[in-house]
Structure 1
Amino acid sequence: MLTHAHLDRTILTVEGARPFKWTARDGLSLSAHLWGNRSEGCYPVLCLPGLTRNSRDFYRLACRLHAAGHHVIAMDYRGRGLSGYADDPTTYNMAQEAQDIEDGLSALGIERYVVLGTSRGGLHGVGLAATQPDRVRAVILNDIGPELAHDHLKVISETIGRHMTASSWPQAAARLKAQQQKTFTAMTEQDWLDAAAQTYEETAEGVRLSYDPNLRHAVKDAVLPTPQAMWSFFDALKGKPHLLIRGANSPLLSEKTANAMQERHPEMDLHTVAFEGHAPLLWGTAVQERILRFLQTVNEETAAPASADKATPQ
């Protein structure tokens, strides 16, 4: 039981960010959070979360990037966070999410940008780089690559949509700790409660995971591409600045695969986060400074005229 930690409601409420809504082509309401405004010489940073995650995962990083002058957009996929739940769970797929992301960018008037994607969000980042190479200036991948541990993928698929509720915030934090403490080995009681604030939400029925449990049906029916196809997919990043962040204890992305990615893409930067698994939380000073240096390099290499985009909606 977590006895000395206190819920950080700034994470839960995404304090300091502006909410933004747009409508998917099937009428579903979709949501994002925005930090700051676009400025001359600085590309917007599009943050895309993992499979069951939401824009709160980027709260601390976005605050740091905003303080450094960056405009940050963190999106919730359909069925996650503050976005609406779909009547048809088969729409919880990569193709539909990609269309939703594109429609959100269009609604915001964003033409060129950097993608920071955690896990599934990284796959979307690679997809955007492949289909819109002139618009995606650079990509940051958070613990995702072309070869993934199938045993851990099986664990993920078997746990999605199960045990959705907790009796209290301390219980939610304790559950996360029980599930992940073997790979996140330096977390304090407060850290686990802060992680719960990113993952769970308060509802009339109590504390529950912040996604539609029907997401499990889409994951169960998903067909994984072959490793050869995945390597070819990741080649869309060749010649484009990209940074791979990997958890040192990641059960999904091995050190061997990360090194193979760098050998295949010599221009790829690699940053390993000690004491963390899948996916790194992006809370630490070292990883945030690494991301800031990468973004500075990207912005210095090519001017990013804010006048090319529309004004950011307020």
Structure 2
Amino acid sequence: MQQSAKLRHFRGLSLSGFHRVAYREWGAADAKRTLICVHGLTRNGRDFDELAAAAAARGWRVVCPDVVGRGDSEPLADPSGYAFPQYLQDMNALLARLDVEEVDWVGTSMGGLIGMFLAAIPGTPLRRLMMNDIGPFLPAEALSRLSQQVGEQPSWPDYKSAYADLRAAYVGFGPLTEAQWQRLVERSLTAEGKGWRRNYDPAIGKAFAGSLEGDVDLWPFWDQLRLPVLVYRGAQSELLTPETAREMSERGPRAQVVEIAGSGHAPALMSDQQISPILDWLSSN
């Protein structure tokens, strides 16, 4: 049976007030296992539609939030709040809403770091963590290039031109079918007047750029992890370097690292070849 999602929301709290955080829930609320999937910096929870449907078909409850300022979630009144303390607070509110003792976590880029931070906290409810093309060391050069892309907020007069530009911008997702590209681009856009723009708050780019101060070293958090970790690395990724991926397999939780050929930052997780190994690993003892 084809699985479908229910769109829900809860209220997050920042110093400037409450904000609506949207999430999509797949599968039965009383399922034995719950999986949370969190997207990258300017993406949204729809990135996990294929993975969530596959997991729900296996009997999982899957929850895919739109982090504040992205997708169907409201923007922050004060853009300076677009940072990990706010994201962690909102995800803790989501965990409380779900009312479960234990969850597994799949996170792409920023979503993987959110999972890592939560997993490093004593008493964490995370059981297993999958990190998609992200690690505890982020090179300044790669972050600078990412900041330039995030800071751009173009608009397009028609869908055809938006599709062409976004397909070029998201080449790091790897080789996709035409149908997959169509779905990915549709999930990336929102209507604006008679045209289109990316569906995230443009202020996120300014907040991200303002936080950059060279390389980011998060190894102390990594070394606190006491749970199984699976890492996907896009073979052409500049954000998760081969050296960092190798060190992730040798220290801390000693992650299982899988390199995804043909992808950069970050593998799209839309094909069965990428999804099934994740679900098999999450299901293993």
Q: TM-score, normalised by structure 1?
A: 0.83
Alignment partner, residue 279 of structure 2:
292
Measured against aligned partners, the alpha-carbon deviations of 1:208-261 in whole angstroms (never above 9, x if no partner) come to 10100011221122145865x411111122x31110011112121112211121
Asked if 1:117 is matched to 2:113, the reply is no
Alignment partner, residue 261 of structure 1:
248
CA contact (8 A) 1:174 1:192 kept: no
CA–CA distance in 2 between the matches of 1:264 and 1:123?
17
Alignment partner, residue 190 of structure 2:
201
Measured against aligned partners, the alpha-carbon deviations of 1:103-124 in whole angstroms (never above 9, x if no partner) come to 1221222331011111011111
Higher strand share: 2
Please, which of 116, 119, 138 is the counterpart of residue 148 of structure 1? 138
Alignment partner, residue 257 of structure 2:
270
Alignment partner, residue 78 of structure 2:
88
Query: Cα distance, 1:39 vs. partner?
Result: 4.6
CA contact (8 A) 1:164 1:213 kept: no
Task: Give the 3-state SS of the residue equivalent to 2:9 in structure 1.
Answer: strand
CA–CA distance in 1 between the matches of 2:214 and 2:124?
26
Give runs of aligned pairs for residues 177-196 of structure 1, distance below 5 A.
177-181=167-171, 183=172, 186-196=175-185
CA contact (8 A) 1:126 1:236 kept: no
CA contact (8 A) 2:131 2:229 kept: yes
Asked if 1:137 is matched to 2:127, the reply is yes
CA contact (8 A) 2:173 2:268 kept: no
Give runs of aligned pairs for residues 151-170 of structure 1, distance below 5 A.
151-170=141-160
Q: Which amino acid is 2:111 matched to?
A: G
Query: Cα distance, 1:155 vs. partner?
Result: 1.4
Measured against aligned partners, the alpha-carbon deviations of 1:155-210 in whole angstroms (never above 9, x if no partner) come to 111222423322233322211232343x4553344433222122212344432101
CA–CA distance in 2 between the matches of 1:163 and 1:85?
15
CA–CA distance in 2 between the matches of 1:252 and 1:180?
14
CA separation of 1:290 and 1:136: change in aligned 2, threshold 3 A: same
Q: Over aligned residues, Cα RMSD in angstroms?
A: 2.1
Q: Percent identity?
A: 33
Measured against aligned partners, the alpha-carbon deviations of 1:114-149 in whole angstroms (never above 9, x if no partner) come to 111110111110111112544111111010012223
Alignment partner, residue 235 of structure 2:
248
Alignment partner, residue 20 of structure 2:
29
Structure 2: gaps spanning 5 or more residues: none
Q: Which amino acid is 1:257 matched to?
A: T
Task: Give the 3-state SS of the residue equivalent to 1:128 in structure 2.
Answer: helix
CA separation of 1:132 and 1:287: change in aligned 2, threshold 3 A: farther
Alignment partner, residue 89 of structure 2:
99
Q: Which amino acid is 1:30 matched to?
A: V
Measured against aligned partners, the alpha-carbon deviations of 1:257-311 in whole angstroms (never above 9, x if no partner) come to 11121022464212222211111100122221111111111xxx4xxxxxxxxxx
Alignment partner, residue 67 of structure 2:
77
CA contact (8 A) 1:78 1:85 kept: yes
